[in-house]
Amino acid sequence: MTITQSTRAATTSELTIATSEGVLFRLPLAGPAPRLYAMLLDIVIVLGTVNGIGLLVYWVFAKAPGFGVMVITLAEFAIGFAYSALLEGYWNGQTIGKRLFHLRVIDQDGLPLRIEQAWVRNLMRVFDALPFAYLVGGISVLSSPLMQRFGDRVAGTLVTRQTPLSLPDEEFWTRQKYNSFTEYPTIAMQLRRAATPELAALIQDALRRRNELATYARREIYRELAAYLQSEICPFPDELIERLSDEQYLMNASSILFADRGAIASSKIGDLGQG
């Protein structure tokens, strides 16, 4: 992951921010599809609201329907722009649709969005919606590393995915605790010797991107990698392999590869390193 001068870097799916304190964190970016769904939901909400107000206005202006139409036309127009701008501005970058689809608009430096930015990005919709069905905005999203439509580029904002995350559960910690490969220090050392840096990086990358891969793809990749390691590099005994999932196999292998020498050596006297 490279860090640009502006301390922002993006792949197609995430924005990496390096803070002045030297911490690096990644924010997952939202693709066009969930944004489209959220927008459609918001449109439904706005139309519902406007129609609700419309009934009320018709009732109030029963004697003067022309003025009723005037009020509704103007209200619809104003609400159409103000709905997203106000909600995003005062509700930390979320409209109702965005909240339900776990999206949030933020400043492109990782800060909460400001009210002016919310207005600018929403007024720019008149351009992004050209010539129909948000074609300009959609092309802009697909061609931008930060997945910004023109409104986002002007306002300096971006849309992130905000799937709720909680601390990993108990199973996670027990899985991390014990590395059964350290019971076989000779084969483990063989793994360390034979693995190329590329292979080590590949394993690490596959594990790191665990949550970005579709389930079937993950299973397939892990199975192939584990099978390759087992057959070509480090033949651990079958009775151990039977107990391990492919993912656990790779995690063990990876922690052997990236552990310092002492962790494996010390395991000989029973004090197991973890990983």
Query: Of the ranges 19-27, 184-192, 193-201, 238-246, which one interacts with another protein (CB under 8 A)?
Result: 19-27
Residues in 22-81 that interact with another protein by CB under 8 A = 22-27, 64-67, 69-74, 77
Q: Residues 30, 146, 251, 267: which binds another protein (CB under 8 A)?
A: 251
Pairing of strands 14-18, 24-28: antiparallel
CA distance 40 to 96: 11
Look at residues 117, 122, 126 and name the one whose alpha carbon lies nearest to residue 92.
117
Token pair listed for 271: 């004090």
Greatest Cα pair distance in the chain: 94
Please report whether residue 135 would count as binding another protein according to CB under 8 A.
no
Q: Nearest 5°: phi and psi at 95?
A: -100, 180
Does 156 participate in binding another protein (rule CB under 8 A)? Answer: yes
Residue of 51, 92, 186, 245 that binds another protein (CB under 8 A): 92
Could you tell me the smallest distance in angstroms from the CB atom of residue 259 to another protein? 5
Q: Are 96 and 45 in contact (CB under 8 A)?
A: yes
Give residues 160-219 in contact with another protein (rule: CB under 8 A): 165-168, 172-173, 176-177, 204, 207-211
Name which position in 9, 87, 105, 124 contacts another protein (CB under 8 A). Answer: 124
Q: Is 274 in the site for another protein (CB under 8 A)?
A: yes
User: How far apart are CB 270 and another protein at their closest, in Å?
Assistant: 16
According to CB under 8 A, which one of 53, 96, 120, 244 is a site residue for another protein? 120
- Measure CA of the first residue to CA of the last residue in the chain; give whole Å: 24
Q: Which of 90, 194, 201, 268 binds another protein (CB under 8 A)?
A: 90
Q: Does 5 bind another protein (CB under 8 A)?
A: no
CB of 70 to another protein, least distance (A): 4
Q: CB 114 → another protein: shortest distance, Å? A: 7
Question: Which residues are at the interface with another protein (CB under 8 A)?
Answer: 17, 19, 21-27, 64-67, 69-74, 77, 90, 92, 106, 110-112, 114-117, 119-120, 123-124, 126-127, 150, 153-156, 165-168, 172-173, 176-177, 204, 207-211, 251, 254-255, 258-260, 263, 273-275
